[in-house]
Structure formats: structure tokens, C-alpha cells
């Protein structure tokens, strides 16, 4: 996973609530066995017309948003399925940060595992940033994770909250499996305790 | 432990699975059961290989292919190349890492959330995860069950744990008795209509009350299944005699004296009197009617007797635009009566409503009747075991005579990863869980309903009130 420290880039306005994971990446594109290559089908149903040509009305088909690294949306972003293909598709397109009033839990979690920073800010702040984003390349937005601020094009700094452990992992691009494996003795001890307290717990084997 | 403070069912399961509490409050949470399927696991196994890691507890893991499998004749294998590769990749991964697996040709194959309870793999008090958001289904057993992403699948494979912070407790109490013609599906659609698709965000929902207690295990699974549509990662129902009777004798459940010891522990799980819930919601079962979704979010539901909303009557500008967009997508007119909406396809199946009880409900409406002309009606059992049971009861013959298609088990048209999908503009009455744009196929229009309501739609060729048919 790539570390996330600071980011300055074009932000795409997506003024929609309840952007679900089927909208982000429809199920028919989940047949890959890789994490990469999903960017071309990001927001497929919105981005392309039924004949496969680009829908010029969709923001990511417009300049300068084709190179957007930040996405600004409305409530409940990422609701629906647990598919990590959703953040993979965003990342493959080039999005490293999504700003919204709130996020669905699983999607929120999946972002952190892939070097994408989801930023929760109140709706009125998102609306102000949405207006900034509509100014396109003239209005680059910055995110400083260490200082936990979003910097508007006019220089105003907006503080956001982030879980300290997730921040640490993201800032350093750390694999949390390695971190957990350092606690293997505790996991061993838990398993031994469980075996004595709940000895009836069955194991699975397929005959 | 909490030193005598009254605890909820969720609190108790959580406390009994904490391996270690890290300084910032994040917990290393032990996972009792890990269910694996072909779509969200290939990248996780690849990650293990690259890091030269093993699966820590193959004996707590079960794999099955469900999302991609065809539901027609399987003797020729999977025709679609990408789907075939994904299933073959799963087969290679389970062989390489020694993970138990129900092969596609095995009767025990089926939708991962159907087979966990069916096989006695999912048990009360457990932590259960799967790379699929409908893992909440297993909460019906009185387990803490939730969906995870592929990075977390890899984390569980490698460590049998997850890094988690405790969720908030929400209790939804459904008082009274469910009326004639309604089912667990109507109950959960009514709940989502009430709380909204983000209503449960950050929470685990415990369903309680007389109407919930009265549900059989299939109904409880339907309710818990759609917790995620209300924004909650997990939904659960306290285990009781209904739960224990369901589990007894299942292949992977504790047997004999072990079963009795397990029940003794399971009986300690329900919430203590006075346990604290961060959010409380109450519904009156008597007010619940057969429900149908009209929009492209599961919160957009109405009783079948209602009419499509009129955006012009909405004050909030954002909502007005949203409703207009939904009506445009769905091809509906403002104030159109829901019972006047014609359907092209009826889909019965999915982890929400693919159990034997669901198929019985469809058969009881369809018996002696015919599917309306021009309607394609598919019935996809949730597992090979469900299919066999239905065939033993003659349900397949009732449905085939009525003009339904009788298929092989899998996720099928719930999400259209296999060949079963809607074509653009086609309208379905579906027993599945999501009516998102394009969910059942690009341009497809989904109306979520109960199994009995799906049968009524198949017979009449439109969204119909099943109470007029039974």
C-alpha cells in the first residue's frame, strides 16, 4: 500500500447521496482476480452510454476532472456491498481521497486498507468544497493528513477527524497484517483459553 | 469484562472474542468462522502467497463458489471465461492452502449465507465474517456476523483475527403480530423504510419483540440479511429454543453431550435486563403491509396499496431531484398505483429469500395457477440441499407446471454476475436485497418484494397484492 501524507489536486464534484458500490463498480466487473485495471469501469453506468461511448455530462469525462485525485460527494457514500473493488476502482482511476458528510462503514474501512483517505466533513463544508471543485483546475484542493486539514483554494484550513491508528498506518503505508502477526503469542493464548472454555466448538473438514 | 454492568448480546459476543485491546481502543478480535467465496478472495490468497503466509485456521474456514456459477445445466462447466477463471482460481487456492471446500457439483454447494446455517457451521455466540456484506444473515443464529473487504479477508486468513472497534448498539423492537399476507421480508423492508439506508451506520442492530420472536429461523435470516441495507454491518437476534431446535443435528453443529454444553453457553448470551442500547426504535407489526420498493434504494419502499410518490409534492430540493431521477430510471409516473406496474421478470432466490420456507411460500401462491403471458419467472434455490428438499416436497413440479423455471443454486439474478440478468429497461419483481441502478443488469429495474408477493407478480404479470390471491 502506498503511504498517504499530503495530496494536492483537482477535486471532482459528485453531488449525489447514497452513491452505492454497484454504482462505483457494477458487479459484472468483479470477475477479475487482480486488484488493478478497474479504473476504466469506475462509475460505469454513469460514465458510459448504453452504446459504450462516454457520457459527456458525467463529471469524470470532463476536463480537468479526468485527472481528478479527490472526489467530493453527499451523504452515505459507498453504501451497499463489501466489495473492495470499489476502492480499487477509485484508486486505479487516480482518486486518493473522498470527501463526504458520511460513509458506509465497510467502504470506509476498505479505503484505509488501500491508501485512500475518506474524509468526513459536515454537509455545509462539503457544499463549500463542492463549489470550489466546480472551479476545476483553477481550484486545487490540498489534504494534509499529518495535520488533519483540508486546505481550500482560498487558503482556508478545515480540520477533520481521523482514527489515530488508521492515520498511523496510512501515513506510513503499513500492512496491518504484519502488525497483527506481531501479536501471535496473544492469539495463541486466546485460542488455548477458548479451547478450555468452549471445548464443544466444532472444527470444519469436508469429507 | 464489564464488572457486572448489564450487557447486550453484542457486548457479550464482543467481550468473549477480544484477544487484545490496543492503546487507542482498537481490538484484535478473534474470528470463529470465515466463509470464503470466489469473487472477493483471489486477491487475498495472492497477498498471502506474495508474503509467504499460511492460512492460520483452515479448520475454521469454509469455501464455496456461488456468485459466478451458472444456474442452468452445469455438466459442461462454466462457459463464461472470466467466471470460469474465478471459480478455478478458488479451487486452486483452497487446494494450495488446505481450506475446506464444497465443490460446485456437491449438494452442499449454494449461496454462502444459506449454507453456513444449513450445515450448522454458523452457531450462536460466534464471530463470523465473509467478504460479502450479506454476512449479516448469520446474525439470525445469535452470532456477530459481518461483511469485510478483501484486505480483511487476507487479514483473517493470515491471523484468524480482525482489527475492530466496537460498534454502537441499536435495538429495533417489533411489537405485536404480523398481519395476514406479510412475512419477514415485509418486516425488514418496513424497518429500512423507517430508519433509512444510513440509519444503522456505525451500529449493530439487535432485532427484538414479539413479532421477531415469532419468526422461524428462515424469517430471522431474511431480517438480519438486510441489516446492511439499513447501513448496519451486523444484525442479530438473541438465540432461543427456536434457534437451538434449528441447529440440533446439523452436520457441523456440536453433537450429543457437546450440543448440550453448547446450549448451556448459548443460553447465557441474550442481553441482561437493563442493558444499554445507544438507539432504540419500535415498530407495530400490525401496521406492516406487504411491501414493495419503487425507487433505486432499499429505503424507498411502500405498501403495495400505495401509489408512486410525486416529486412535485416534496419540499426538499435535493430529495425532489433524487426522486425524479429514480422515477426516470424506473420508468414510473408520479402517483401511478403500484398495482398497475407491469413486470417482465420475476426472480425468486438469493441469500435473502432462497431457503426452503421461501420456496414453499411461492408454491402455495402458484399452485394450480399459471405465470402470466410474457413474464419470465425464475426460481433459484439457495443451495443444493434446498433444491433437493423442494424436489422431495414436489415444489419443483408445482412451479414447473405453473410455468416457472427451476434452476440450479447460486446468487444468480440478485446481482447478475452469471448469465441470469435483466436486459436494459426490463422490470423485475425480485426477492433479492438491492434495487440499485443496474444491480440486476445494466438498465434493469428492480422492485424488491417477499416470496409470496413475487409469486403474485408472476401470476398477475404486475405488482400485485398477494392478499387478494390467498
Beta-sheet strands, E only, within B153-277: 161-164, 168-175, 203-208, 234-236
Task: Name the closest residue on chain A to residue B411, using Cα atoms.
Answer: A27
- pLDDT per position as a tens digit, B289-340: 999 999 999 999 999 999 999 999 999 988 899 999 999 999 999 999 999 9
pTM here is: 0.96
Q: What is the dihedral of CA B210, B213, B216, B221, to 10 degrees?
A: 110
Contact between A141 and A151 (Cβ < 8 Å)? yes
**What's the confidence (pLDDT) of residue A170?**
95
Q: Which residue of B has its CA nearest to A112?
A: B151
DSSP string, B284-300: EGGG---EEE-SSSTT-
| Contact of B233 with B147, CB cutoff 8 Å | yes
CB proximity B432 to A under 8 Å:
no
Residue A163 contacts B where some CB pair is shorter than 8 Å: yes
Q: Report the residue of A23, A28, A33, A89 to disrupt the B interface, i.e. the one with the largest count of B CBs within 10 Å.
A: A33
E strand or H helix at A165: helix A164-172
- Global ipTM: 0.94
Which residues in chain A show pLDDT less than 70?
none
Determine contact: A206 vs chain B, CB below 8 A: yes
A142 touching B, CB under 8 A?
no
Q: Is A192 on the interface with B (CB under 8 A)?
A: no
> Is residue B322 less than 8 Å (CB to CB) from chain A?
yes
Task: Using alpha carbons, select from B178, B171, B140 the residue that is nearest to residue B284.
Answer: B178
Q: How far is A171 from chain B (nearest CA, A)?
A: 17
Facing residue for A202 by CB, picked from B46, B254, B265: B254
CA distance B107 to B388: 8
Please, which pLDDT band fits residue B18 given cuts at 50, 70 and 90?
A: very high
Number of residues in chain A: 207
pLDDT (tens digit per residue) in B98-125: 999 999 999 999 999 999 999 999 999 9
* pLDDT level of residue B150 (50, 70, 90 thresholds): very high
- In this prediction, residues B258-277 reach a mean pLDDT of 98
* Cβ contact, residue pair A183, B20, below 8 Å: yes
Q: Is A206 in contact with B101 (Cβ distance < 8 A)?
A: yes
User: Average pLDDT in the B428-440 region?
Assistant: 97
Tell whether the model's pLDDT for residue B2 goes beyond 50.
no
Q: Give phi and psi for B266, each to the nearest 5.
A: -60, -35
Q: Is B83 on the interface with A (CB under 8 A)?
A: yes
Please judge whether A105 and B233 are an interchain contact, meaning their C-beta atoms are less than 8 angstroms apart: yes
- Candidates A49, A87, A101, A177, partner chain B, best to mutate (most B CBs within 10 A): A177
Q: Where are the alpha helices (DSSP H) in B267-355?
A: 317-330, 350-353
What distance in Å separates residue B195's CA from the closest CA in chain A?
13
Which residues does residue B173 pair with via DSSP β-bridges, in sequence order? B208, B282
Contact residues on chain B for A106, CB-CB shorter than 8 A: 133, 146-149, 228, 233
Phi/psi at B379 (5° precision): -120, 120
Residue count of chain B: 470
Q: Does A177 touch chain B (CB under 8 A)?
A: yes
Tell me which DSSP letter residue B372 carries.
Answer: P
- Residue B429 CB coordination number (10 Å): 31
Q: Does A45 touch chain B (CB under 8 A)?
A: yes
Cα-based distances in Å from A70 to A13, B248, B252: 9, 52, 48
Q: Is B240 exposed, middle or buried (CB count within 10 Å of its CB: 0-12, 13-18, 19+)?
A: middle
Question: Using only C-alpha atoms, what is the Rg of chain B?
Answer: 22
A83 in contact with B, Cβ within 8 Å = yes
Task: Give the model's pLDDT for residue A138.
Answer: 83
Task: Flag if B436 and A183 touch (Cβ within 8 Å).
Answer: no
Nearest to B147 by CA among B254, B67, B88, B227: B227
A30 to B67: CB separation less than 8 angstroms, yes or no:
yes
Is some CB atom of chain A closer than 8 A to the CB atom of B244?
no
CB neighbour list of residue B241: distance below 8 Å, 6 or more residues apart: none
**Cβ within 8 Å, pair A82-B131:** yes
Query: Which of B198, B263, B351, B415 best probes binding to A when mutated, by most A CB atoms within 10 angstroms?
Result: B198
Mutate to test the interface with B, among A17, A74, A79 (most CBs of B within 10 A): A79
**Residue A115 CB-density burial (10 A; 0-12 exposed, 13-18 middle, 19+ buried):** middle
pLDDT tens by residue, B350-375: 999 999 999 999 999 999 999 999 99
Please judge whether A27 and B415 are an interchain contact, meaning their C-beta atoms are less than 8 angstroms apart: yes
CA B342 to mean position of chain CA atoms: 26
Residue B184: pLDDT band with limits 50, 70, 90: very high
- For chain B positions 116-145, those within 8 Å of chain A (CB to CB) are 120-121, 131-133, 135
Whole-angstrom Cα distance, residue A99 to residue A77? 9
Closest CB to B19: pick one of A27, A105, A190.
Answer: A190
Partner A contacted by B263 (CB < 8 A): no
Contact assignment for A23 to B155 by CB distance below 8 Å: no
Any A CB within 8 A of B42 CB: yes
Over its C-alpha atoms, chain A yields an Rg (Å, rounded) of 20
Binned at pLDDT 50, 70 and 90, residue B414 comes out as very high
Residue B1: predicted pLDDT? 46
Q: Provide the mean pLDDT of chain B.
A: 97
At B362, list the grid cell.
411461492
The answer to whether A140 touches A113, Cβ cutoff 8 Å, is: no
Chain B window 405-424: which residues touch A at a Cβ cutoff of 8 Å?
A: 415-417, 421, 424
Residue of A75, A84, A166 to mutate, testing the B interface (most B Cβ within 10 Å of its Cβ): A84
Question: Of B42, B53, B149, which has the smallest distance from its Cβ to A113's Cβ?
Answer: B149
Contact A204/B86, CB-based, under 8 Å? no
Residues of chain B found within 8 Å of residue A164, distances taken between Cβ atoms:
24
B208-237 mean pLDDT: 98
Amino acid at each position: 500500500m502506498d503511504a498517504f501524507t499530503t495530496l494536492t489536486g483537482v477535486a471532482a464534484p459528485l453531488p449525489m447521496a447514497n452513491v452505492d458500490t454497484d454504482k462505483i463498480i457494477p458487479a459484472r466487473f468483479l470477475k477479475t482476480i487482480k486488484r488493478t485495471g478497474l479504473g476504466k469501469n469506475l462509475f460505469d453506468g454513469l460514465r458510459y452510454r448504453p452504446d459504450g461511448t462516454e457520457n459527456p455530462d458525467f463529471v469524470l469525462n470532463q476536463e480537468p476532472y479526468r485527472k481528478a485525485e479527490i472526489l467530493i460527494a453527499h451523504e452515505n457514500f459507498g453504501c451497499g456491498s463489501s466489495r473492495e473493488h470499489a476502492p480499487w476502482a477509485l484508486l486505479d482511476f487516480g482518486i486518493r481521497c473522498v470527501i463526504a458528510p458520511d460513509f458506509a462503514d465497510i467502504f470506509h474501512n476498505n479505503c484505509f486498507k488501500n491508501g485512500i483517505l475518506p474524509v468526513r466533513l459536515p454537509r455545509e463544508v462539503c457544499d463549500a468544497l463542492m463549489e470550489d471543485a466546480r472551479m476545476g483546475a483553477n481550484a486545487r484542493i490540498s489534504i494534509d493528513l499529518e495535520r488533519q486539514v483540508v486546505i481550500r483554494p482560498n487558503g482556508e484550513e478545515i480540520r477533520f477527524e481521523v482514527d489515530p491508528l488508521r492515520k498511523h498506518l496510512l501515513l506510513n503505508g503499513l500492512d496491518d497484517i504484519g502488525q497483527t502477526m506481531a501479536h501471535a503469542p496473544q492469539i495463541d493464548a486466546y485460542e488455548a483459553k477458548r479451547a478450555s472454555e468452549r471445548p464443544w466448538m466444532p472444527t470444519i473438514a469436508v469429507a | 469484562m464489564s464488572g457486572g454492568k448489564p450487557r447486550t448480546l453484542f457486548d457479550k459476543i464482543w467481550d468473549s472474542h477480544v484477544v487484545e485491546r490496543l492503546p487507542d481502543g482498537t481490538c484484535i478480535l478473534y474470528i470463529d468462522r470465515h466463509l470464503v467465496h470466489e469473487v472477493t478472495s483471489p486477491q487475498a490468497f495472492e497477498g498471502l502467497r506474495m508474503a509467504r503466509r499460511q492460512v492460520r485456521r483452515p479448520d475454521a474456514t469454509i469455501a464455496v463458489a456461488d456468485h459466478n456459477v451458472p444456474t442452468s445445466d452445469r455438466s459442461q462447466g462454466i462457459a463464461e471465461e472470466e467466471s470460469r477463471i474465478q471459480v478455478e482460481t478458488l479451487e486452486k487456492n483452497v487446494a494450495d492452502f488446505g481450506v475446506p471446500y464444497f465443490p460446485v457439483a456437491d449438494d452442499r454447494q449454494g449461496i454462502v449465507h444459506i449454507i453456513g446455517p444449513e450445515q450448522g457451521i454458523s452457531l450462536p455466540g460466534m464471530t463470523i465474517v465473509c467478504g460479502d456484506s450479506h454476512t449479516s444473515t448469520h446474525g439470525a443464529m445469535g452470532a456477530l456476523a459481518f461483511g469485510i473487504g478483501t484486505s480483511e479477508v487476507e487479514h483473517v486468513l493470515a491471523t484468524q483475527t480482525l482489527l475492530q472497534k466496537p460498534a454502537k448498539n441499536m435495538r429495533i423492537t417489533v411489537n405485536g403480530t404480523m398481519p395476514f399476507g406479510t412475512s419477514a421480508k415485509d418486516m425488514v423492508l418496513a424497518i429500512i423504510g423507517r430508519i433509512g439506508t444510513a440509519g444503522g451506520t456505525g451500529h449493530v442492530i439487535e432485532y427484538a419483540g414479539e413479532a421477531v420472536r415469532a419468526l422461524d429461523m428462515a424469517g430471522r435470516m431474511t431480517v438480519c440479511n438486510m441489516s446492511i441495507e439499513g447501513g448496519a454491518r451486523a444484525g442479530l437476534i438473541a438465540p432461543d429454543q427456536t434457534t437451538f431446535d434449528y441447529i440440533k443435528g446439523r452436520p457441523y453443529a456440536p453433537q450429543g453431550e457437546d450440543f448440550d454444553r453448547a446450549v448451556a453457553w448459548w443460553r447465557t448470551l441474550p442481553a441482561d435486563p437493563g442493558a444499554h442500547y445507544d438507539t432504540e426504535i419500535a415498530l407495530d407489526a400490525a401496521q406492516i403491509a406487504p411491501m414493495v420498493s419503487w425507487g433505486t434504494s432499499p429505503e424507498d419502499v411502500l405498501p403495495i396499496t400505495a401509489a408512486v410518490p410525486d416529486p412535485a409534492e416534496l419540499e426538499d430540493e435535493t430529495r425532489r431531484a433524487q426522486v425524479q431521477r429514480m422515477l426516470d430510471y424506473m420508468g414510473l409516473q408520479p402517483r401511478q398505483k403500484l398495482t398497475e406496474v407491469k413486470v417482465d421478470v420475476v426472480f425468486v432466490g438469493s441469500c435473502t429469500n432462497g431457503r426452503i420456507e421461501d420456496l414453499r411460500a411461492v408454491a402455495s401462491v402458484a399452485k394450480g395457477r399459471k405465470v402470466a403471458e410474457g413474464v419470465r419467472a425464475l426460481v433459484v434455490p439457495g443451495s443444493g440441499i434446498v433444491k433437493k428438499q423442494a424436489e422431495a416436497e414436489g415444489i419443483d413440479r408445482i412451479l414447473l407446471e405453473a410455468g416457472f423455471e427451476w434452476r440450479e443454486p447460486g446468487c444468480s439474478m440478485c446481482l447478475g454476475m452469471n448469465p441470469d440478468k435483466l436486459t436494459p429497461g426490463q422490470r423485475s419483481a425480485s426477492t433479492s436485497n438491492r434495487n440499485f441502478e443496474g444491480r440486476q443488469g445494466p438498465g434493469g429495474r428492480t422492485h424488491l418484494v417477499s416470496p409470496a408477493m413475487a409469486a403474485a407478480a408472476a401470476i398477475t404479470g404486475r405488482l400485485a397484492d398477494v392478499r387478494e390471491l390467498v
